[in-house]
Amino acid sequence: MRAAPAHTSAVWSVTVYVAFVVDTFSRRIVGWSAATVKETVFILDALEMAIWQRDRDPKPIQPGDLIYHSDAGSQCTSFRLAEHLDAAGIAASIGSVGDAYDNALMEPAIGLYKTELIKPQRPWKTLAQVELATVEWADWYNHRRLHGEIAISHPSSTKPTTTRNSRNPSSQPQSEMSTEPGAVQSWTEVVAERSERQQRAEQTDDVHREDHRQHRDRQTPAVPVQRVDR
């Protein structure tokens, strides 16, 4: 399990910080959080989502089974986060200053997040807009985006056999690729579909507003205008 450094995304009113928790074995995003303040609770929200996801799978966390890799940011080194990890039975691993061993896996995920979502769709107006877009992107990342690290598959299709020996080929993720048309969808197609849905919704709203205006006009009696000559 690896935690991403807080990524910043400027919106019209404030700065939004986004953090991810990724499962190292499957490359699946299991937790994320977005906030306008860069505090420890912001990191804890992403961690809590990851723990909830493990319980939901169901693959409950057993003490000693997981390691939480992160950078040396103030939120990741906080006493509050250390207590939270200890209570959940998760070991913490933070690299020394100047190296990126504990955080290297997260850099590609953050780079993809910026390249595929944040930069192309600027400007961002609100925190809610960033959160909604992140939900859609994370879902696509987990279920439709192909990753070379897991045999050209998507994270949700991996079937872990073991996580003890990463050098053993037999311990690598086994995947099942869907051959159905449309099973693999690019993020550009996802954005295009979302834009199309938004346009249809706006057109429907325009029709409803016009119907409401016409109905109001029919219900409102015409007031005769009297001309007064002086």
Give the mean pLDDT per block of 10 residues along the chain (230 residues).
Answer: 60 85 91 90 92 85 87 86 92 79 83 91 89 93 85 72 42 42 56 71 78 75 61
The dihedral of CA 111, 18, 75, 38: what is its sign?
positive
For 92, the enclosing helix (H) or strand (E) is strand 90-94
pLDDT value at residue 215: 75
Instruction: Report the topology of domain 2-179.
Output: Nucleotidyltransferase; domain 5 (3.30.420)
pLDDT value at residue 62: 84
Task: List the one residue out of 149, 124, 129, 143 whose CA is nearest residue 24.
Answer: 149
Q: How far apart are CA 161 and CA 77, in angstroms?
A: 32
Residue 184: how many other CB atoms lie within 10 Å = 17
pLDDT value at residue 223: 58
First to last CA, the chain: 87
Helices 127-143, 106-113: crossing angle, 10 deg rounding: 120
* pTM of the predicted structure, to 2 decimals: 0.68
Q: Where are the domains of the chain?
A: 2-179, 185-215
DSSP of 95-141: PPTT--TTTTTHHHHHHHHIIIIITTTPPB--HHHHHHHHHHHHHHH
CA 104-108-111 angle, to 5 degrees, is 125
9's CB contacts (< 8 A; 6+ apart) are 15, 16, 17, 18, 118, 124, 130
Phi, psi (deg, nearest 5) at residue 74:
-60, -35
> Cα-atom radius of gyration of the chain, to the nearest Å?
24
